[in-house]
C-alpha cells in the first residue's frame, strides 16, 4: 500500500515536472508571438500605397475561422476527458474531429493567403503585409505542427493503447491546442476586427 | 474536497468536466460574436469600440485559461501561475513600450517628412516618374526680417516654388516654427529653423496655402505667408 502510494506520487511528480516544462515552452512561445504582435501593431499602417487591412480582410471568413478553432478546442477538451476515463475509442473519435476542424481552419487560412498573393499583395508589398503574413503565418505553422502531432499521437494510441504516459502526452497536446486558440483570439481581435474600427 | 462525489469516473477537479468545457465553449462563442457584431454594425465607434473589443479579447482569454487550460488548479505551489503572470508583464512592457516609442519616433521624425525634406534639399523633384513634391525650378526669393521685437513684413505673398528667407537682425536666438503658438507644425519638411545672430535660413515654398509661423522662443513674434500656384 505504501509502496503503491510512493509509486503514485513519483508518477505524479514526474507529471508535474513535464507539465511545468511544457508550460515554460508555451510561455516563451507566447513571448515570440508578442514580438510579432508588437511589430504588427507598429507597422500595420505602413501600406506603401497598397491596400490596407480594411480593404483586404473579410470579416465573415475570420469569424468562421475563429468559430472552427473554438469548436476544435472544445472537442479536444472532451477528448481529454475521454482519455482520463480510459476510453480509447472516444479519444480517437474526438481527437480526429479536432484534427479535421484544425485542417479546415488551416485550409481557410491558406485560401486567404493564396487570394492575397494571387491579387499581387505579397509579403514584399508593404511593411503592413510583411508583418501580417509573418504573424498569421507563424500561427498557421503552429497549427500545422499541432495537426502533425495529433496524427502521431493518435497512431501511438492506436498501437499502444491508453497508458499513463499516453494520457500525459495527450494532456500536453491539448494544452498546446488551447494555447493556439488563445493566440488566435488575439489575432482575430487585433488583426481582423481592429482593421475595421 | 467534496466527499459527496466519489464515483469512479468522476474526473479530478484540476482537469474539468464535460459541463465545464461546454460552459467555457459557450462563453467563448458569445465573447467572439459580440465584438464581431459591434464592429460590423458600428454601434459604437472610435476608441470606445477599440477598448470594447480588446476588453472582450481579454475576457475571452480569461475564459480559455480557466475553462480549457485549467491554470491555477494544479498542485501547489503554483509555479506555472507565477510564470504566467511574469510572462504577461513582459508582454505588456514589450507591446506598450514598442507602441509608445514608435509613436513618438513617428511624431518627431515621420518618414514622409524626412523624405520630403531630403527631396527638397537635394532638389530631387521626381523618382521613377513619381513626383516627390520638391520644386523643379526655384522662383523668386522673399525675405522676412526678425529683430528687436518686429517681424517685417507680417504677411508675405508668394508663388509656389519661391523661396522664403528668415533673417535675424538682433543678438537673440530665434527658433522659427510653423502654426500658431504653442503648436509646432511642419512646413516643407522643416519643423524648426534656428536663426542665429545676423544669419538667415531659407525654405522652399513647396506647399500651397496660407501658413502661420512664429518664434518658438519668443511667441509674440509671429507672421504668416500665403503660397498660391
Give chain A as a DSSP string. -HHHHHHHHHHHHHHHHHHHHHHHHHHHHHHHHHHHHHHHHHHTT--TTS--HHHH--HHHHHHHHHHHHHHHHHHHHHHHHHHHT-HHHHHHHHHHHHHHHHHHHHHHHHHHHHHHHTT--TTT-HHHHHHHHHHHHHHHHHHHHHHHHHHHHHHHHHH---HHHHHHHHHHHHHHHHHHHHHHHHIIIIIGGGG-
The pLDDT score that the predictor gives to residue A12 is 78
Contacts of B94 in chain A (CB under 8 A): 31, 34-35, 38
- CATH value at residue B154: 2.60.40.420
Region A79-90: what's the mean pLDDT? 93
Number of structural domains found in chain B: 2
The pLDDT score that the predictor gives to residue A146 is 97
d(CA A19, CA B69): 11
Q: How far is CA A7 from the centre of its chain?
A: 34
Q: Is residue B105 part of a domain?
A: yes
Each residue of A130-141: b (16+ CB within 10 Å) or e?
bbbbebbebbbe
pLDDT category at A102 given cuts 50, 70, 90 is: very high
Q: Is residue B171 part of a domain?
A: yes
The proportion of chain A whose per-residue pLDDT surpasses 90, expressed as a percent, equals 77
- What is the average pLDDT value for chain A, to the nearest integer? 91
Judged by CB atoms closer than 8 Å, whether chains meet at A80 and B15 is answered as yes
Q: Is residue B114 part of a domain?
A: no
Judged by CB atoms closer than 8 Å, whether chains meet at A77 and B50 is answered as no
Give the chain A residue whose CA is nearest to the CA of B105: A42
Residue A1, pLDDT > 60, answer no
d(CA A138, CA B94): 19
DSSP string, A65-81: HHHHHHHHHHHHHHHHH
In terms of domains, do B25 and B65 share one? yes
Q: Is residue A90 part of a domain?
A: yes
The proportion of chain B whose per-residue pLDDT surpasses 70, expressed as a percent, equals 86
Last residue of a domain, one of B109, B126, B157: B109
The proportion of chain B whose per-residue pLDDT surpasses 90, expressed as a percent, equals 20
Number of structural domains found in chain A: 1
Q: Is residue B44 part of a domain?
A: yes
Judged by CB atoms closer than 8 Å, whether chains meet at B95 and A41 is answered as yes
| CA-CA-CA-CA dihedral for B117, B122, B124, B127, to nearest 10 | -80
In terms of domains, do B158 and B205 share one? yes
Q: Which residues contact B138 (CB under 8 A, 6 or more apart)?
A: B161, B162, B163, B204
Q: Does A4 touch chain B (CB under 8 A)?
A: no
Contacts of B39 in chain A (CB under 8 A): 59, 193, 196-197
Judged by CB atoms closer than 8 Å, whether chains meet at A42 and B87 is answered as no
Helix (H) or strand (E) holding B15: none
Considering only residues 94 to 133 of chain A, which have any Cβ-Cβ distance to chain B shorter than 8 Å?
A: none
User: For an interface test with A, which of B46, B59, B80 has the most A Cβ atoms less than 10 Å from its Cβ?
Assistant: B80
Pairing, β B222-228 against β B155-159: parallel
- CATH value at residue A25: 1.20.120.80
The pLDDT score that the predictor gives to residue B1 is 39
Contacts of B35 in chain A (CB under 8 A): 189, 193
Rounded to a whole number of angstroms, the distance from the CA of A194 to the nearest CA of chain B is: 7
What digits encode the pLDDT tens for the residues B154-179? 888 988 888 889 888 888 888 888 88
- Do the interacting molecules here have an ipTM over 0.90? no
Judged by CB atoms closer than 8 Å, whether chains meet at B95 and A20 is answered as no
What digits encode the pLDDT tens for the residues B95-143? 999 999 888 776 666 666 677 777 777 777 777 777 777 777 788 888 8
The pLDDT score that the predictor gives to residue A32 is 96
What digits encode the pLDDT tens for the residues B31-87? 999 999 999 988 777 788 889 999 999 999 999 888 888 887 766 668 888 999 999
Q: Which domain holds residue A123?
A: 2-38+64-195
Q: Is residue B31 part of a domain?
A: yes
Residue A52, pLDDT > 70, answer yes
In terms of domains, do B150 and B75 share one? no
Q: Which domain holds residue B37?
A: 8-109
Phi and psi of A2, rounded to 5°? -65, -45
What digits encode the pLDDT tens for the residues A3-44? 555 555 777 788 888 888 999 999 999 999 999 999 999 999
Q: Is residue B66 part of a domain?
A: yes
pLDDT category at A96 given cuts 50, 70, 90 is: very high
Contacts of B99 in chain A (CB under 8 A): 38, 41-42
Q: CA A147, A152, A155: angle at the middle one, nearest 5?
A: 125
Judged by CB atoms closer than 8 Å, whether chains meet at B79 and A71 is answered as no
DSSP, collapsed to helix, strand or coil, labels residue B157 as strand
Q: Is residue B221 part of a domain?
A: yes
Q: Is residue B121 part of a domain?
A: no
Amino acid at each position: 500500500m505504501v509502496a503503491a502510494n510512493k509509486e503514485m506520487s513519483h508518477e505524479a511528480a514526474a507529471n508535474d515536472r513535464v507539465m511545468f516544462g511544457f508550460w515554460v515552452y508555451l510561455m516563451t512561445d507566447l513571448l515570440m508571438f508578442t514580438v510579432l504582435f508588437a511589430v504588427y501593431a507598429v507597422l500595420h499602417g505602413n501600406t506603401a500605397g497598397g491596400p490596407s487591412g480594411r480593404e483586404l480582410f473579410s470579416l465573415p471568413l475570420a469569424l468562421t475561422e475563429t468559430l472552427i478553432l473554438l469548436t476544435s478546442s472544445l472537442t479536444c477538451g472532451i477528448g481529454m476527458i475521454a482519455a482520463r476515463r480510459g476510453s480509447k475509442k472516444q479519444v480517437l473519435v474526438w481527437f480526429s474531429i479536432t484534427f479535421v476542424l484544425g485542417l479546415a481552419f488551416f485550409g481557410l487560412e491558406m485560401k486567404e493567403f493564396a487570394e492575397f498573393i494571387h491579387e499581387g499583395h505579397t509579403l514584399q508589398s508593404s511593411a503592413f503585409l510583411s508583418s501580417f503574413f509573418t504573424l498569421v503565418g507563424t500561427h498557421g505553422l503552429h497549427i500545422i505542427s499541432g495537426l502533425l502531432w495529433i496524427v502521431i499521437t493518435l497512431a501511438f494510441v492506436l498501437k499502444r493503447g491508453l497508458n499513463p504516459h499516453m494520457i500525459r502526452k495527450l494532456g500536453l497536446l491539448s494544452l498546446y491546442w488551447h494555447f493556439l486558440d488563445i493566440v488566435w483570439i488575439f489575432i482575430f481581435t487585433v488583426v481582423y476586427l481592429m482593421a475595421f474600427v | 474536497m467534496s466527499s459527496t462525489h466519489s464515483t469512479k469516473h468522476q474526473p479530478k477537479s484540476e482537469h474539468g468536466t464535460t459541463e465545464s468545457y461546454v460552459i467555457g465553449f459557450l462563453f467563448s462563442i458569445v465573447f467572439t460574436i459580440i465584438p464581431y457584431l459591434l464592429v460590423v454594425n458600428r454601434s459604437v465607434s472610435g476608441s470606445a469600440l477599440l477598448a470594447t473589443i480588446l476588453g472582450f479579447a481579454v475576457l475571452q482569454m480569461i475564459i480559455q485559461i480557466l475553462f480549457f487550460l485549467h491554470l491555477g488548479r494544479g498542485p501547489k505551489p503554483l509555479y506555472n501561475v507565477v510564470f504566467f503572470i511574469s510572462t504577461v508583464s513582459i508582454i505588456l512592457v514589450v507591446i506598450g513600450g514598442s507602441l509608445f516609442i514608435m509613436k513618438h519616433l513617428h511624431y518627431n521624425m515621420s518618414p514622409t517628412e524626412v523624405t520630403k525634406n531630403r527631396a527638397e534639399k537635394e532638389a530631387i523633384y521626381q523618382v521613377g516618374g513619381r513626383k516627390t513634391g520638391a520644386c523643379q525650378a526655384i522662383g523668386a526669393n522673399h525675405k522676412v526680417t526678425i529683430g528687436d521685437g518686429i517681424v517685417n513684413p507680417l504677411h508675405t505673398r508668394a508663388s509656389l516654388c519661391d523661396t522664403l528667407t528668415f533673417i535675424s537682425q538682433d543678438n537673440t536666438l530665434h527658433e522659427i516654427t510653423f502654426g500658431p503658438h504653442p503648436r509646432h507644425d511642419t512646413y516643407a519638411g522643416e519643423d524648426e529653423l534656428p536663426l542665429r545672430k545676423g544669419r538667415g535660413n531659407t525654405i522652399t515654398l513647396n506647399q500651397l496655402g496660407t501658413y502661420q509661423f512664429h518664434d518658438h522662443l519668443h511667441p509674440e513674434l509671429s507672421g504668416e505667408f500665403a503660397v498660391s500656384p
